[in-house]
Amino acid sequence: MNQQKSDEQRLVHAALYIFATLFAFVCFYWQVIYPPCCDADGYLRVAKAYALNGICPNEAEMDGLRLYGYPLFLSLILKLSSLTGLQFNLLLFCIQLSLYFFAVHLLSKVLETSFSSKISNVVSIALLCNFLVYPYLAIALTDGFTVILCVFLAWSFLVAFLSVAPPQNFNKFIYSTILSGFLVGFAVMVRPASIYLFFVAILVGCCFVVCFAKRPILYHLIVSVAFCIGFSLAVAPQLIYNYVYFKAFTFMPVAGLGSTQLDWGTHVLKYLTNLSGGNMQMCYKSPWSLGAQGAGLAWYIHNPWTGVRTIFFHIYGVLDFDYLFPYVYKLNIWYRPLLFIFSQFFIYWGISGYVLATKDLHALSRSKPSLETKMLFLLCGIGLLSFFAGWGAVHAFSGSENRWALPVVAVLLPFAVWCAFVRQHKSSVKWGLRLCFLLYLGIAAKLSLFLGGLKQFCS
């Protein structure tokens, strides 16, 4: 019976991998027909400079804006392309897609080995069915690669925790901790907005201290040093580059993007890159504000009610996908209702699933106390909560773009699949959850129509 069930699960996973691959190739074919521009071109230009001369000064407008991580990755693919004779775009797509599949496989394997096949299946199915990520794996943008790094990071965190549970493997623990630090640092080097992952890692480290409080202080110091070594290895090239060429002792971009983004966010709720004709930049203009005009975060204090509405629509707008592809060649698409339903599905059921999972893990850790249940409860209740809070804090004050939400989609979707198709059937409030979802869809539809009605060419 178990063998038959295992065979069925393998067939389902094989079918999902095939379906995901086919859909990803459709996305790749789309970007061949409609070539990318803007940021994707910028990363590629920097990568070409790196391929010729290593990490060096490149185009003037990119020097203080792009960090080295993603251009370096692209430069390696450029070199591989020249060696093999394969087209760069195809090679980039195949490598990014393979890395994503590999990360999902590793995460599902560690979940199956250490916890249960049910958890493993839910996570792998959700991540493979996340069709929002595939258009970004077919193009030279940091957003899809950031999701890949986040999945690898979740795997390395779990490996690190499980390596110190009986039977203990201290060497594996240290190596996985160094790898976690490197992945956090490299994620920031790929996309600076991922800096919130550093603070997530700090809170995950606090969870580790709570789980293994009886270990000597020296043990925890070694862990901290191991993480810092990995993080430093990732950010050191950018730190050296910024100091040598800009005399700035920082690993973040030296260009002053922060104040510009803050001002932009006070009068733009959301935006997209429009290549369907007319102005390339299309904004969802705020109906309440003309902008902070240099006031920065103080604007939200001086305009509290307007500020709350602005922040709400930044967060809601970035999660409400009205376009599938990063660059929009057609403003009115036939599948917009499907995107709306999918977006609201992972928002509502994902948040509900996260709350229920935290509640279930808390009850389980009290009724059947063990290191694994305590660890999962802390990682879910504190680690993931800090992830949501950190991501929200970074994006709450800037005009949102759908691609920024991809890491959150990757986290919410497994909870959504679990809650909608597994957990709610066992819940005494399942009909309440379903009715609330219908009510939520009605409210969300009004919000989406309101936000879409603000769309206009940026002045």
DSSP 383: I
Q: Check whether 59 has a pLDDT greater than 90.
A: no
What's the rounded Cα separation, in Å, for the pair 341 and 200? 30
Q: Is 456 left (phi over 0), alpha (psi -120 to 50) or beta?
A: beta
Q: Check whether 257 has a pLDDT greater than 60.
A: yes
The stretch 318-330 carries a mean pLDDT of 93
pLDDT tens-digit readout, 106-158: 999 999 888 888 889 999 999 999 999 999 999 999 999 999 999 999 999 98
How many Cα atoms are found within 13 Å in the side-chain-facing hemisphere of 389? 11
* pTM listed for this prediction: 0.94
CA nearest 189: which of 114, 242, 263?
A: 242
pLDDT at 231: 97
Token output for 316: 């809601």
| Strand 268-274 versus strand 281-285 pairing type | antiparallel
Query: Any residues with CB less than 8 A from the CB of 282 and at least 6 apart, and which?
Result: 271, 272, 273, 274, 328, 455, 456, 457, 458
User: What is the length of the chain?
Assistant: 459
The strand pairing partners of 328, in sequence order, are: 274
Q: Check whether 195 has a pLDDT greater than 80.
A: yes
Token output for 61: 């407008």
| Range of 39-48, 272-281, 416-425, 434-443 with top mean pLDDT | 434-443
Instruction: Decide: 455 and 281 in contact? Cβ < 8 Å.
Output: no
pLDDT tens-digit readout, 236-255: 999 999 998 888 888 988 87
Q: Check whether 62 has a pLDDT greater than 70.
A: no
How many Cα atoms are found within 13 Å in the side-chain-facing hemisphere of 384? 25
What's the rounded Cα separation, in Å, for the pair 450 and 446? 6
Q: Check whether 424 has a pLDDT greater than 90.
A: no
Q: Check whether 71 has a pLDDT greater than 80.
A: yes
Cα 183 → chain centroid: 13
pLDDT at 377: 82
DSSP 382: I
Residue 297, SS3 per DSSP: coil
The stretch 302-319 carries a mean pLDDT of 93
What's the rounded Cα separation, in Å, for the pair 330 and 276? 5
Query: Any residues with CB less than 8 A from the CB of 43 and at least 6 apart, and which?
Result: 66, 70, 71, 74, 140, 141, 142
pLDDT at 378: 81
